[in-house]
Structure 1
């Protein structure tokens, strides 16, 4: 994530709430920065710290998708060409299959006309959540992407895999035709065992600690 990305997790004891930091660059978030938000995407306790203006993304997706336990919104350079061009992002790698066979687009212009491109209201976020539908990722035209998961580790695995898939797809498109996975291959390859997700998670944690 860049300085403007953010990630959240559903509250473990209150499914109608979620945990999200106050407005901080991801690298600077500390435990004391984590706040509890209600269904209205507002802190349940008084807070004087600035908040992410796009926190509504998290609240509305949690509201629409009871199965979602973690969410990440980002602007990774690997996915931005797809957001700008409208070229479909398709699974071309084994772990890219965790995106699913179809990655939907959301265009704020369809419902809201000209905006500053940010998702700063519940209505905008609800529109985005509807575009996400049952999928695990949605591309936001001219803006970025939002990924979801069954837990934090699963969400991070899907988001990282999607970015790597996007990078590889872009490089392959520059060379010629892209051979995407078949629906059957996507179905089989997407069944990543928890042990594999845990292996990747440990790798990333170690790299972060060594940074």
Structure 2
């Protein structure tokens, strides 16, 4: 990670440049003062589900409570597939995101946000992105069978416990950190 200003300026280290789509991050941070972390990723399952126009429904409950809650409360889809390198595009994406914690970028990926203490906010944004990816994989698997996508009933959503951030964010983050430490850094491909 490298720290840069909202305009993408800051100390540039050798061989590194700010991301081309920095406006995704900076415009969310400008428009949502409570947000302290922004994750932008391109999970293939999210891209495929968005291109297929699958509805973001709470298909499962206790299997993935965070994904069920995100879907039940609504996952907006920004219907542009453009690289977000202009402020007007970033502003459109932010408008679509609204006050929600995630937005799917059709044919592109997703944006997830976290609030509060920066360390917690990064973990929160990452785990939200992972929940959307998990939901996308489930949606694609169900769609591949030819069966219709059906949301679980509201009464089942009401039965899902609010396990709070200690479980939904912290436990998942510890799991991811332990896994990364165990697996080590990725091995570069040799050509």
Report the Cα offset of residue 183 of structure 1. Answer: 4.8
Match of 1:42 in 2: 8
Moved more, 99-108 or 131-140: 99-108
Structure richer in helix, relative to its length: 2
Q: Give per-residue Cα distances to partners, 1:152-171, cap 9 Å, x unaligned.
A: 11111111111111111211
Match of 2:142 in 1: 172
Q: Which has the higher contact order (CA 8 A, sep 6+)?
A: 2
2:20 alignment partner, one of 45, 49, 53: 53
TM-score by length of 1: 0.71
Q: Which runs of 5+ in 2 are unaligned?
A: 116-120, 184-191
Q: Which runs of 5+ in 1 are unaligned?
A: 1-20, 22-33, 110-116
Report the Cα offset of residue 58 of structure 1. Answer: 0.5
State the alpha-carbon separation in 2 of the partners of residues 134 and 72 from structure 1: 15
Match of 2:152 in 1: 181
TM-score by length of 2: 0.78
Match of 2:104 in 1: 139
Could you tell me whether the CA contact under 8 Å between 1:95 and 1:189 is conserved in 2?
Answer: no
State the alpha-carbon separation in 2 of the partners of residues 132 and 205 from structure 1: 28
- Against the structure 1 CA distance between its residues 36 and 191, is the aligned structure 2 distance closer, same or farther, given a 3 Å change threshold? farther
Query: Is structure 2 residue 62 aligned with structure 1 residue 104?
Result: no
Q: Give per-residue Cα distances to partners, 1:6-60, cap 9 Å, x unaligned.
A: xxxxxxxxxxxxxxx4xxxxxxxxxxxx12313xx222x3536422110000111
- Against the structure 1 CA distance between its residues 108 and 169, is the aligned structure 2 distance closer, same or farther, given a 3 Å change threshold? closer
Match of 1:91 in 2: 58
Match of 1:64 in 2: 31
State the alpha-carbon separation in 1 of the partners of residues 178 and 172 from structure 2: 10
1:199 alignment partner, one of 171, 174, 179: 171
Could you tell me whether the CA contact under 8 Å between 2:110 and 2:129 is conserved in 1?
Answer: no
Q: Give per-residue Cα distances to partners, 1:84-122, cap 9 Å, x unaligned.
A: 12222222232312424221111238xxxxxxx210012
Match of 2:189 in 1: none
